Amino acid sequence: MTGTVPFSASHPSQLSVQDELRMENRLLRARLEEILEHAHRNQNIMERHQKFELQIIGASHFRELITSVFSSLATTSELDVVNLILLDPRQELQQMLHDLRINLREFPHMLFVRSERELQTPSISTTKPVLGPYQRHLYEQFFRSYSKKPASVALIPLIRQGRLIGYLNLGSYSIDRFLPTMATDFIERLGSIIAICLENVINNERLTYIGLTDPLTNVSNRRYVEQRTLEEIGRARRQGYGIACMYLDIDFFKKINDQYGHQGGDDVLCEVARRIKAELRLSDTLGRFGGEEFVVLLINANLQDAMLVAERIRRSIAEKMFALSEAGHCNCTISIGLTTVSEKLNRGDEAIVAKEMICRADRALYDAKRSGRNMVRCE
C-alpha cells in the first residue's frame, strides 16, 4: 500500500472541476436567457413596427396619416419627441389643406417652411439621417415646437424622386438613445416609407381639391361653396355666432370680353379672384359661382364687419387698373350684394337657411346693379 494515493485525496479536485462546470453552465443559461429575452423584445419591437408600417401605408387621407405618425410612432419606438417639418415653398399645401377643412392647429408639432434656409442649418445632411446629442445651435429650429428639448436626436430627411420634401425628427430624453456611431438602415427605411405615404395622401387630397376648385381662378367652385355653406350654417348655430354672405358680379364683363378677347376676360377673372381673396381671412370662403359671379362667406361676422370687408373689396378692384397678358390694361368694377344670418335667425332646416341666405345676397346684388353698379347693397 506504500506510495498509493488514497481515492479520497483526489476527490476535492474532482468536486472543484464539477463546481466550475456547474457555475459555467449557470452563467451560460443566464446568458442564453438574456439573449432569448432580447430576441423576444426585438421580435416585439419588430412586430410593433410592422403594425405601424401597415397602418400608415393604409392611410388614404392626410389627417389619418399625420395622426398615426404623431401618436403611434412615439409609442411604437418609445420616443419622447416626434416632429415633422414639411417644405411648402408657395404655401400651396397649407392653403389646400385649409380649404379641405383640415385644421392644422390639431398638429402643433407639424411645421411648414418655405425653404431649407429657414432651418438655418446648412451643415445638416439633406440625404442621410443625422444622429447624435441635441445641439441648440444646430437643431433648435427643428424642435422649436417643443419647450422641453430632447437629449439625443435623429433627423431623417424625407426624399421623393431625388427631392427633399421635409424632415422627420425624433428625439429622446436619454443621451444614449441616438448615437452618431449607430447604424441608420432602420431609420432610413422608416423615412422612406413615411415620405412615400406623405406623397400618396397629399396626391389623394389634391385630387379631392381639384374636384372642388375652379380650374381658371384657382378658388373654390360652386359645389364646394354650397357644401361649405351648409357646414358653416350648422357650425354657426352650434357655436352661437353670425355669418355673412356676399354675392359679387363683375360689371359689364361682356364688354371686357368683346374688347379684350377671352384671354383678357380670363385675366380679369383671375385678378378679381386674387384681389377678393387678399381681403379675406383664412377662415372665410371664396368661390366662383359661374361666369363672372363669385360668392364669399364671412365667418363670425355681423353686418357692420361685412360692410367694411365688402367696401375694401370693391375699392381694391375699382381703384387699380388690371394688367392684361395680351392687351395692355383695363379698368374694372364690381357690384356686391350682402346679407347676414344672425344667431337669432339661424333656425330651422340648415339647407333652407343656406338657400335663403344666398338668394337674399343675390337680390341685394341685383339692387346694386339697378342702382348704378360699382357699389354694395344689403338685404
Domain boundaries, given as residue ranges, for the chain: 78-186, 222-378
Does the pLDDT at position 7 exceed 50? no
Residue 288's CB: how many other CB atoms inside 10 A? 25
Give the pLDDT confidence of 248-302 residue by residue, as tens digits: 999 999 999 999 999 999 999 999 999 999 999 878 999 999 899 999 999 999 9
The answer to whether the beta carbons of residues 131 and 153 sit under 8 Å apart is: yes
The answer to whether the beta carbons of residues 221 and 319 sit under 8 Å apart is: no
Give the pLDDT confidence of 37-90 residue by residue, as tens digits: 666 666 666 777 788 888 888 888 999 999 999 988 888 888 999 999 999 998
Annotation says 20 is catalytic? no
Which pLDDT value is given to residue 166?
A: 93
Is 222-378 the same fold as 78-186?
no
Give the pLDDT confidence of 139-190 residue by residue, as tens digits: 888 999 999 999 999 999 999 888 899 999 999 999 999 999 988 888 898 8
Kindly name the residue from 33, 232, 292, 350 that is annotated as catalytic.
292
Give the pLDDT confidence of 209-231 residue by residue, as tens digits: 888 899 999 899 999 999 889 98
The answer to whether the beta carbons of residues 246 and 361 sit under 8 Å apart is: yes
Does the pLDDT at position 123 exceed 90? no
Terminal Cα distance for the chain, rounded: 132
Q: How confident is the model at residue 13 (pLDDT cuts 50, 70, 90)?
A: low
Nearest C-alpha neighbor of 246 from the set 204, 301, 315: 301
Question: Whole-angstrom Cα distance, residue 246 to residue 294?
Answer: 8
Q: How confident is the model at residue 374 (pLDDT cuts 50, 70, 90)?
A: very high
What residue ranges in the chain does DSSP mark as E strands?
A: 81-87, 110-113, 130-133, 152-160, 163-172, 243-250, 285-290, 293-299, 322-323, 329-330, 334-341, 376-378
Question: Whole-angstrom Cα distance, residue 212 to residue 224?
Answer: 5
Question: Whole-angstrom Cα distance, residue 232 to residue 186?
Answer: 45
Which pLDDT value is given to residue 38?
A: 64
Exposed, middle or buried, 355 (CB in 10 Å: 0-12/13-18/19+)? middle
Q: How confident is the model at residue 31 (pLDDT cuts 50, 70, 90)?
A: confident
CA distances from 274 to 104, 110, 255, 375 (A): 23, 28, 21, 19
Which pLDDT value is given to residue 315?
A: 96
- CATH number for the domain formed by residue range(s) 222-378: 3.30.70.270
Q: Which residue reads 375652379 in cell numbers?
A: 214
Does the pLDDT at position 137 exceed 80? yes
Does the pLDDT at position 21 exceed 80? no
CATH architecture of 78-186: 2-Layer Sandwich (3.30)
**Exposure string over 79-103, b if 16+ CB within 10 A, otherwise e:** bbbbbbbbbbeeeebeebbebbebe
**Exposure string over 209-228, b if 16+ CB within 10 A, otherwise e:** beebbbeebebbbeebbbeb
Q: Which residue reads 385644421 in cell numbers?
A: 103
Average pLDDT in the chain? 88
Percent of the residues in the chain that have a pLDDT greater than 70, as a whole number: 92
Question: Whole-angstrom Cα distance, residue 243 to residue 188?
Answer: 49
pLDDT: which is higher, 302 or 17: 302
Instruction: Output the pTM of the full model.
Output: 0.70
Which pLDDT value is given to residue 1?
A: 45
Q: What is the Cβ-side half-sphere exposure of residue 26, based on CA atoms within 13 angstroms?
A: 6
Residue 240's CB: how many other CB atoms inside 10 A? 9
Comparing 29-33, 250-254, 309-313, 337-341, which segment has the lowest mean pLDDT?
29-33
